[in-house]
Amino acid sequence: MSTSSRRRRSLEDGGFSLIEIVVAMGLLMVVLTASLPMLLSMLRSTVTTKMNTQGKNLAQERLEQLRDLRFHVDRQNGPFLDLLDLYFTNAKSSGTPTSIVSGAGTLTGRYLASGTSNGIAAPLYEVSTGSLPGAGQYSQVVLAQFLGVNGAVLPASQYQDLYDSQLVGRDASPSLVVRFTVVTSWVQAGTPKSYRTTTVITEGSPETPGIQTQAKAVAVSLSSTAADATTLQLQAGLTTLDGAQSSGSSVAGYITGALATRTGAAVSAGEVGQFSLPTQPATTTGSGGAQGGGACSWFGFGPNAVTNATADVSSGLPKAPADVDSSAPPKVSTGAIKQGTSNACGMMSFDNLAGGGAGRPTTDALGFQMGAAPYVRVPDTSSSAIGISGSGYVTASALTASPRQAKAGGRVSQSQPVVLFPNNPESGGMGLVSAKVTGSVDCVSNTAGMAGTVLGTYTLELGWWGKGFADTAARWHTAIWVYNSVASIPLTVSGDIWEPDTTFLGNGSTLGQLVTATVPSATSGRVTAGAATGVRGFANGILTLTTAPTLTNENPASGAGHSAIKVQLGELSCVADDQR
């Protein structure tokens, strides 16, 4: 290799000069300085995205915690923490904060009766978590609201200062639908941030009631259809009670001495006692005075009263009345009409001339025997005692009791009979047919899955006017049925024999043309046992009487014969089922 070649190779291997390096570094600094804002922005964006994602994940995690909790566990079963214990602890209008320690940390809650929280209007329950475990820069607020069946927020008046998840008997949820809003908050670079999500949680699989009790008693029920096709009904001595326990206990009741209803018209009731615990306390409203539809038409009833219309679920068991277990036999809630002489319509009166009805004229053979309205009447007496009453009770023993039982029952009584066609011209003011019933039914549960027992009793007295097949002249007849479902001979009958088709009246008509009756026999008037957990008793009444049509201008739309008057006495039924 020549000397010149070696010199060239030496120059080529010499690398960058100092000046070139300085220039290159300067250019690099210019490029880095220009790209720094973009790099910082990318870093901030990454942090923001990460914190937003974590906030959403924490909110979703809270929702899953809410959904995983049992909706409600009855307080009497022990201090188990359910969804409502943690996130809707109470509805105290005072707004006093309540703290509960759980696996999710310490939750501090308060009820808001007014105002807003995180943009949501009260009423609501607000739970604050404080800093979240493992994510200290985050905190959450959980807002809960009870919803009605229409999806609207449940009015506070239905549960405020009544509902409390920590008290036995007041811990049942006023609604099976709750809306939860979870607000997750954090601070990023000095700026507050939040993420909000909402869900609705329901008691998706309601439990079969551990206890189910029902009692119904209607002493007298009168019904018909008017010429304008409206339905008319007058009831006396009415009590209905309904108790249940599943995840919570509830008991409802309606008790009144008299109730008159007509399609499309306002209800006419006497004094009324009603309740629906735990949300609606017992109240007594209405008047105990006599009422009438005008000249005792289409209805009338005398002074009336409600007694012991109370209930209790404070022990975690449905009981009505509240003192039901204070004596044996059980105390009862009662609706009654009083006896007296101050009411021109008697204790009860009824006809179907409302709406332009025209009664049969006296020139009509049946119209003559019917006489003038009212067509049904219960006469007054000089006494001021109870005249017609219907009573009931429901109760259940504690889980640890022996025997463990649910019980329910009803009672009806009449001091005076219901008289059909009281203005009949032949009987001397006694009417054509009269009837009165005193009866009872009691249901007692058995062990879970086993049929319980039912006891039914009554005394029925039926009277009627006319000349029987063996009579020499028309007279007043009387028959009495006595029934006890557990007696060796359950039904005994004494007195005259009810034979309306061969009982003649003065103008040649038969009693059977004016009144038919389903009287107790081998196939009727017996207590029904129903299914193991079904309705038992005399659900269709102990006695049913049906008159001939009373109007000459029946509405064709209602069908022929619709103006007949139906009289039902002694409607008694009960349910007592304990599946605990």
For residues 391 and 491, membership in a common domain is answered with: yes
249 and 173 part of one domain: no
Based on the domain organization, do 192 and 220 belong to the same domain? no
Cα–Cα distance list, 353 to 194, 400, 514, 564 (Å)? 70, 58, 18, 12
Residues 359 and 396 placed together within one structural domain of the fold: yes
What confidence score (pLDDT) does residue 114 get? 92
Per-residue pLDDT at 50: 82
Confidence (pLDDT) at 477: 98
Q: Lowest mean pLDDT: which of 171-185, 337-351, 506-520, 545-559? A: 337-351
Q: pLDDT per residue over 294-317, tens digit each?
A: 566 699 998 999 999 999 998 889
Domain co-membership, 443 together with 405: yes
Banded pLDDT at 381 (limits 50, 70, 90): confident
Query: Residues 375, 313: one domain?
Result: yes
Token couple for 84: 């409502």
Sequence letter at residue 357: G
Q: What integer pLDDT is reported at residue 45 of this predicted model? A: 56
Contact 204, 546 (CB under 8 A): no
Q: Structural domain of residue 34, as residue ranges? A: 1-206
Q: Is 334 exposed, middle or buried (0-12, 13-18, 19+ CB in 10 A)?
A: buried
Residues 188 and 280 both lie in one domain: no
- The helix/strand/coil state of 483 is strand
Mean pLDDT value across residues 172-192: 89
How far is C-alpha 28 from the chain's CA centre? 82
Report how far residue 478's alpha carbon sits from residue 496's, in angstroms, rounded to the nearest whole number: 6
Q: Where are the beta strands (DSSP E) in 63-202?
A: 98-102, 105-112, 116-117, 120-121, 124-132, 135-146, 177-188, 191-202
Q: Of 190, 206, 222, which closes a domain?
A: 206
Q: Do 227 and 352 reside in the same domain of the chain?
A: yes
Q: Is the pLDDT of residue 534 over 90?
A: no
Instruction: Give residue-wise pLDDT tens across range 450-495.
Output: 568 899 999 999 999 999 989 999 999 999 999 999 999 999 999 9
Q: What is the pLDDT of residue 476?
A: 98
Query: How many Cα atoms sit within 13 Å of 162 on the Cβ side?
Result: 17
Predicted confidence (pLDDT) per residue in 137-174, tens digit: 899 999 999 998 778 899 998 899 989 888 877 788 88
Among 455, 351, 346, smallest CA distance to 411 is for 455
* 496-501 mean pLDDT: 97
DSSP 106: E
Q: Could you tell me if 326 and 219 lie in one domain?
A: yes
In the numeric block, the tokens 């449905």 are attached to 318
Name the nearest CA neighbour of 459 among 441, 481, 444, 474.
Answer: 481
The three-state secondary structure class of 570 is strand
Q: In this structure, what DSSP letter does residue 384 have?
A: -
Amino acid at 273: G
Residues 291-316: b if buried by 16+ CB within 10 A, e if exposed: bbbeebbbbbbbbbbbbbbbbbbeeb
Helical residues (DSSP H) of 13-162, grouped into ranges: 18-68, 83-87
Mean pLDDT over each residue of the chain, to the nearest integer = 87
Q: Fill in the amino acid letter for 359.
A: G
The per-residue pLDDT for 340 is: 74
Say how far apart CA 428 and CA 434 lie, in whole Å: 14
Residue 202, SS3? strand
Same domain, 296 and 151: no
Considering the domain architecture, whether residues 156 and 230 belong to the same structural domain is answered as no
Higher pLDDT, 513 or 533: 513
Whether residue 84 sits in one domain with residue 36: yes
The amino acid that residue 344 corresponds to is: A
Return the H-helix or E-strand segment holding 367: helix 365-370
pTM: 0.68
Q: How confident is the model at residue 533 (pLDDT cuts 50, 70, 90)?
A: low
Assess whether the previous peptide bond of 123 is cis (omega < 30° from 0).
yes
pLDDT confidence of 68, banded at 50, 70, 90? confident
Residue at which a domain ends, from 175, 190, 206 = 206
Which of 156, 185, 206 is a domain's end point?
206
Number of domains in the chain: 2
